[in-house]
């Protein structure tokens, strides 16, 4: 159970979501075979992935459903919630601020920050605060994760502020390449990259037809 390979880790949330839909049915056990066919994945791949986070898989029976769900939740770290803030409450920031789906994976977004006055103190349940107070807010609320959804130009400056406030991880939704210390985890969410893949895939597929 040491450290999972990235590729395995990336599939865990997919398994988790599927297993939860099974649970709402009347299922007690589930086999790797079944998961694989439901999600269009290789049978061996699923089995190997599961073997890395769970044990107790029994031949002819499979895994106990609730135990497996619990094991995956532990592996991807959504048992104890990660407290997060959104920096930049534009359209995307607003969407992520209000997105309920994150809680399923242990993310607890508690506030948004912005410079613009007109988005401030909107009563959506989650407060939108002026950006000046961000460093003390991080400290006082032990915020672990900062989500950057602001204009490219401001990205690095705000990342620096987050770091000096003591943040542990940065999730960068801007196009800008940003730099953080080694002690801070960084992930770039690159929608453009996905789009490029899809674009090319689409074009080569229709050529073949």
Q: Within 20-49, which residues bind a second copy (CB under 8 A)?
A: 38-40
Residue 102 CB, nearest distance to a second copy (Å)? 7
Among 1, 14, 44, 61, binds a second copy (CB under 8 A): 14
Binding range to DNA, per CB under 7 A, among 4-12, 102-110, 165-173, 191-199: 4-12
Q: Does residue 15 belong to the site contacting a second copy (CB under 8 A)? A: no
Q: Sort strands 107-114 and 128-130 into parallel, antiparallel or unpaired.
A: parallel
Contact assessment for residue 29 and residue 61, using Cβ atoms and an 8 Å cutoff: yes
We find the least distance from the C-beta atom of residue 44 to a second copy, in angstroms, to be: 19
Non-local (6+) Cβ contacts of 115 within 8 A are 130, 131
* 1 touches a second copy (CB under 8 A): no
Tell how strand 63-64 and strand 29-30 pair up. antiparallel
Of the two residues 191 and 197, which places its CB atom closer to DNA in the complex? 197
What span, in angstroms and rounded, lies between the C-alpha atoms of 60 and 190?
Answer: 42
Give the integer Cα–Cα distance in Å for 155 and 170.
11
Q: Which of residues 51 and 191 has its CB atom nearest to DNA in the complex?
A: 51
Question: Using CA atoms in the order 128, 193, 11, 155, what is the torsion angle rounded to 10 degrees?
Answer: -30
Considering only residues 41 to 70 of the shown chain, the ones binding DNA according to CB under 7 A are: 42, 44-45, 47-48, 50-51, 55-63
Is 160 among the residues that bind a second copy (CB under 8 A)?
no
Site for a second copy in 118-147 (CB under 8 A): 144-145
Question: At its nearest, how many Å lie between a second copy and the CB of residue 170?
Answer: 9
Q: Which is nearer to DNA, 45 or 156 (CB)?
A: 45
Q: Identify which range of 43-51, 58-66, 85-93, 109-117 contacts a second copy by CB under 8 A.
A: 85-93
Q: Is 7 near DNA (CB under 7 A)? A: yes
Sheet containing strand 82-87, strands side by side: 128-130, 107-114, 82-87, 145-148, 169-172, 185-188
| 117: partner contacted, choices DNA, a second copy, none (Cβ within 5-8 A by kind) | none
Query: Among 71, 70, 61, which residue's Cα sits nearest to residue 32?
Result: 61
Tell me how far apart the alpha carbons of residues 181 and 191 are, in angstroms, rounded to a whole number.
Answer: 24
């Amino acid at each position: 159970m040491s450290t999972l390979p990235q590729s395995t880790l990336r599939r865990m949330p997919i398994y988790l979501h599927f297993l939860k839909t099974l649970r709402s049915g009347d299922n007690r056990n589930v086999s790797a075979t079944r998961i694989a066919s439901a999600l269009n994945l290789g049978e061996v791949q699923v089995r190997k992935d599961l073997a890395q986070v769970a044990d107790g898989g029994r031949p002819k029976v499979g895994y106990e459903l609730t135990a497996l769900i619990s094991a995956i939740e532990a592996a991807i770290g959504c048992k104890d919630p990660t407290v997060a803030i959104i920096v930049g409450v534009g359209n995307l920031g607003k969407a992520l601020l209000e997105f309920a789906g994150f809680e399923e994976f242990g993310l607890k977004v508690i506030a948004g920050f912005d410079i613009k006055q007109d988005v401030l103190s909107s009563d959506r349940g989650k407060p939108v605060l002026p950006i000046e107070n961000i460093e003390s807010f991080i400290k006082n609320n032990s915020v672990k994760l900062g989500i950057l959804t602001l204009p490219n130009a401001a990205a690095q400056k705000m990342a620096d502020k987050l770091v000096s406030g003591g943040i542990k991880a940065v999730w960068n939704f801007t196009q800008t390449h940003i730099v953080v210390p080694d002690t801070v985890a960084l992930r770039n969410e690159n929608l453009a990259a996905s789009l490029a893949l899809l674009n090319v895939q689409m074009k080569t597929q229709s050529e073949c037809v």
